[in-house]
Structure 1
Amino acid sequence: MIRQARWTLFIGGLVGLMAFADVHAAEKVTIPNSELHTITSRETGDAYQIQIRLPNSKPPESGFPVIYLLDSNAWFGMASDLVSTRSLNKDSTGITPAILVGIAYPTDAPYDLKRRTFDLTPPSENVTMPPRPNGKPWPPTGGADAFLRFIETQVKPLVDQRAPVDKSQETLMGHSFGGLFALHVMLTQPGSFDTYLAGSPSIWFNQKQVMEEAKAYLAAGNSVKARLYICVGGEEEDITAAEETHPQAEIRRQWKKDNRMIGNAQDFVALMSNQPELDIAFKVFEGEDHGTIIPQLMIHGLHFAFNQKAP
């Protein structure tokens, strides 16, 4: 009986080895037509990883449109899939092949929370921030202008070297602090990009500093010539079902209530709505929260960037 059992184990192991013989060694999965460049910022001395996905097609005479994506550590894969698949049938989507440029940090984590907080927030002599729900101190803020200079003087020239670029179709896409950065750039250096896609912009930052920037810009008689798409989730001013059971549920609820993600976005759109050269669109996606709004930003913002309006 024991011999039979050992023989059965031997045969089973032999069959298993034969099965594994058909399996090749594991290889890393890569995003087609994409490449990674490491650049050190002349502004700060910090290193960035620039992810570039080039279209697999002949460039048009005017060059390829370019989409610059912030927080690319977390979202480059999703954005790459959307840009590539939606441009397959450009006759129905209106989306043509485009270069996707992700600005990321040298980490395998989805976010570098300390560095993104600095890079994506506007500078100010005085910064007043609300207490964080986790009770920890805020990282340094105010690096947005230096970050923009890095994009303009180092990232864009790199992209220009990789493929022909249509300088009339450059889009900036950001979420949360990234959305705040997009609004700040549009108001302070509006010619940097042609289209700004801002998902759940953190307008609350530093007592609504970007709202004051907008008021000052308009009071000076300036006119924004750009296209702007803002979207927020309909559930952003209350906690999620999962947060209901969190020990700090009420602290989180008050945090979201005070930040007024929906209300502040509505106020910003109302303030800028009379700009004759600003093509602006705004959407509240019911049922979405601060995190789940990101896929909506990507697909609807992408359609807005290439068409007259978002679907």
Structure 2
Amino acid sequence: MKIHRRGVRAALLSLAVACAFAVAPACAQQSAPAAPTAADAADAAKVYGSFTLDSKILGETRRINIYAPPGYAERGRDRHPVLYMPDGGLQEDFPHVADAVDRAIAAGAIAPMFVVGIENTQRKRDMTGPTEVAEELKLAPTLGGSAQFRAFIRDELIPQVERRLRTQSRRGIVGESLAGLFVAETFLREPRLFDVYIAISPSLWWNRDALLTQAPALLRDRRKALPARTLRLYSADEDNIAPQTQRLADLLRAQAPAGLAWEYRPRPDLSHGTIYRAVEDEAIRAAFAVPSPAPRK
């Protein structure tokens, strides 16, 4: 793969980020990030900083991948928002999402920001709530761990990131499919955890649409207390996802909390396998748009 000058700077930056996260005896033990797969060959050449986090909540070690915006190492005081993402491994969705953020920054469409990717260990466990559906119970040995995974993000990962990087308080989360289900569930159950929620083809069918069944009561509980939040929903041509996402959009039209800026964008021209890359640029730029300058008087 050809490495451009910008890629070399990114590589040096990633090493600095990796060292910032390393725990004594420090950076000598930091393993080199994995190279992008062939599927990511179209993405810009970057090397990402990574660190590992021993989670008491999950009882395991998790690898975390970091994208830092261009010039972060040189600008010693600037603070930036953070976009968190499940499915955040180097062989998962992290490279193309980080690349979309990098493109948006370069275009001036969004302010510089970090991307924090959480590499999977047991995806179906972490992304799902409990289920009583027999066929779903066969999908993995352990399911229904979304509340525990959310506690890991809230109580262990976010504090670690905020200690190690110059972050702003504003943060978002993006996910697709089961990770989109986790994003939607987090918005409904713990909306103060993030400022921006991007759920792409969320698997709202889980446990016979249980989250949708609970959503009216959850929204009623939040209507007056919810601070300003952004929610973006997308669905592709999927019989078991698009109707449920439409139901959530209809519910939001009826009882969206004050202060919630939300939009549902159905994309029947796309499939479950193509929608993430197809809409990520639009989703990120819309959710984190740089405000237009005020007109001159």
The bucket for the TM-score relative to the shorter chain is 0.7 to 0.9
One-letter amino acid of the structure 1 residue matched with residue 119 of structure 2? A
* TM-score, with length taken from structure 2: 0.74
Q: Give CA deviations for 1:165-207 in whole Å, capped at 9, x if unaligned.
A: 111x201001111111111111111110000000001111111
Distance in 2 separating the partners of 1:270 and 1:308: 28
Distance apart, 1:96 and its partner CA: 1.4
The residue that corresponds to 1:202 in the other structure is: 203
Runs of 4+ with >4 A deviation = 28-31, 58-62, 135-138
Whether 2:35 is the aligned partner of 1:55: answer no
Aligned partners of 1:197 and 1:297 also within 8 Å: no
Picking from 55, 77, 83, the partner of 2:101 is 83
The residue that corresponds to 1:97 in the other structure is: 112
Root-mean-square deviation (CA), in Å?
2.5
CA spacing shift, 1:209–1:136, aligned 2, 3 Å: closer
Aligned-partner SS, 1:191: coil
Picking from 61, 82, 86, the partner of 1:70 is 86
One-letter amino acid of the structure 1 residue matched with residue 103 of structure 2? T
The residue that corresponds to 2:125 in the other structure is: 118
Whether 2:146 is the aligned partner of 1:144: answer yes
Distance in 1 separating the partners of 2:98 and 2:46: 9
Aligned-partner SS, 2:103: helix
Aligned partners of 2:231 and 2:260 also within 8 Å: yes
Q: Would you say how many aligned residue pairs link Structure 1 and Structure 2?
A: 243
Q: Give CA deviations for 1:3-22 in whole Å, capped at 9, x if unaligned.
A: xxxxxxxxxxxxxxxxxxxx
The residue that corresponds to 1:131 in the other structure is: 135
CA spacing shift, 1:38–1:173, aligned 2, 3 Å: same
The residue that corresponds to 2:249 in the other structure is: 269
The residue that corresponds to 1:300 in the other structure is: 282
Distance apart, 1:29 and its partner CA: 4.5
Q: Give CA deviations for 1:28-67 in whole Å, capped at 9, x if unaligned.
A: 7576462111112211212211001112225697720111
Distance in 1 separating the partners of 2:175 and 2:126: 12
Aligned-partner SS, 1:151: helix
Aligned partners of 1:187 and 1:213 also within 8 Å: no
Distance apart, 1:227 and its partner CA: 0.8
Unaligned 5+ segments in structure 1 are 1-27, 106-111, 238-258
Aligned-partner SS, 1:190: coil
Distance in 2 separating the partners of 1:297 and 1:308: 18
* TM-score, with length taken from structure 1: 0.71
CA spacing shift, 1:303–1:49, aligned 2, 3 Å: same
Aligned partners of 2:111 and 2:290 also within 8 Å: no
Distance in 1 separating the partners of 2:214 and 2:154: 21
Q: Give CA deviations for 1:54-95 in whole Å, capped at 9, x if unaligned.
A: 1222569772011111111211111121111221121xx2x1
Aligned-partner SS, 2:277: helix
Whether 2:269 is the aligned partner of 1:287: answer yes
Distance in 2 separating the partners of 1:279 and 1:65: 18
Distance apart, 1:262 and its partner CA: 0.8
Distance in 1 separating the partners of 2:279 and 2:161: 24
One-letter amino acid of the structure 2 residue matched with residue 65 of structure 1? P
Whether 2:39 is the aligned partner of 1:36: answer no
Q: Give CA deviations for 1:120-139 in whole Å, capped at 9, x if unaligned.
A: 112x4xx222636xx95544
One-letter amino acid of the structure 2 residue matched with residue 280 of structure 1? W
Q: Give CA deviations for 1:183-234 in whole Å, capped at 9, x if unaligned.
A: 111111111000000000111111112112311213446344421001011x
Aligned partners of 1:87 and 1:96 also within 8 Å: yes
Larger radius of gyration: 1
Distance in 2 separating the partners of 1:267 and 1:60: 46
One-letter amino acid of the structure 2 residue matched with residue 67 of structure 1? L
Distance in 1 separating the partners of 2:59 and 2:135: 30
Aligned-partner SS, 1:72: coil
Distance in 1 separating the partners of 2:162 and 2:270: 37
Distance apart, 1:161 and its partner CA: 2.7
Unaligned 5+ segments in structure 2 are 1-33, 37-44, 292-297
CA spacing shift, 1:128–1:172, aligned 2, 3 Å: same
Distance in 2 separating the partners of 1:191 and 1:141: 25
